[in-house]
Structure 1
Amino acid sequence: MSLSSNTLRSLEHALQYASLRQKVISNNIANADTPNYKAQDVSFKNVLEDSVNAISATRTDPRHFRFSAGDSSSEIVTESGTTYNSNGNSVDIDTEMANLASNQIYYESLIELEKGKLSSLLNVVRGGQ
């Protein structure tokens, strides 16, 4: 029996995603006045694939979706074709600040979930006392 579960691994991947997204958003804010800087974001597709890959399922019908293993890393993508400023910069500071606040709430909720999971494990180790 393993103490580490899919839940802890999923939370770890989600925390890595949130941490990387925080860095990317901060970088966008820092470069808000840099000419020709293109805003970046973290691809959610890989995080979604990771979550799907963590699900173990048996395909009982050929019409069912396939579950396959994939890369567990997130990808930074540069927004192209969007220009908000006359200097070629595509950073919208209001959008980035909203993304920063949203990501912070997401990160803090993940921390609370992980604290609850680890607290439950500690309770089991102590014998329910």
Structure 2
Amino acid sequence: MPVNLDTYLGVHSQALKLRSQRTEVLAANLANADTPNYQARDIDFKSALAAASSGKSSGVNLATSNARHIGPAGINGTSAPELKYRTPLAPSLDGNTVDTQLEQAAFAENSVRYQATLTFLSSKFRGLMTAITGQ
């Protein structure tokens, strides 16, 4: 009996991709903490995961006029979730909206959730290997 791996893993493989993309966005925010007029961005994880699990893409759909054009893609060719601007709690004089402490806290939380998703997927694969080998 064939097993559909996507069904077996559920939403967790998509969550791992989104967490990875969010890590990149938060790291870019931290890297540009001193850049004048830089606008902090973030991914609305809940809506991005809902869109990814339903198969719908959020945001703007771009068309290419040539097959060799690069489409809007995120990590590993997956569609990029819609980035949203973060509203600053205390705007700076140079127009930068990055709050370093807020970004570090979001980065740490995202890292913990990424690791939890990896742990869950690892246990799913371990259970699948146990079922295949019978040990």
How does the TM-score come out when normalised to structure 2?
Answer: 0.74
Distance 1:75 1:108 in 2: 23
What is the percent sequence identity of the aligned residues? 31
How does the TM-score come out when normalised to structure 1?
Answer: 0.77
- Counting only pairs closer than 5 Å after superposition, residues 75-94 of structure 1 correspond to structure 2 as 75-79=82-86, 84-94=91-101
Structure 1: gaps spanning 5 or more residues: 54-68
Distance change >3 Å, CA 49–CA 22, structure 1 → 2: same
Task: Give, in angstroms, the shift of residue 10 of structure 1.
Answer: 1.4
Distance 1:113 1:47 in 2: 17
Aligned positions, number: 112
Task: Give, in angstroms, the shift of residue 6 of structure 1.
Answer: 2.3
Q: Are 2:100 and 1:98 equivalent residues in the alignment?
A: no
Show the counterpart of 2:51: 49
Distance 1:49 1:87 in 2: 35
| Deviation per residue, 1:58-92 (Å, 9 max, x gap) | xxxxxxxxxxx522842222236776211000000
Contact 1:25 1:40 (8 Å CA) reproduced: yes
Distance 1:42 1:13 in 2: 14
Give me the CA root mean square deviation.
Answer: 2.1
Larger of the two Rg values belongs to structure: 1
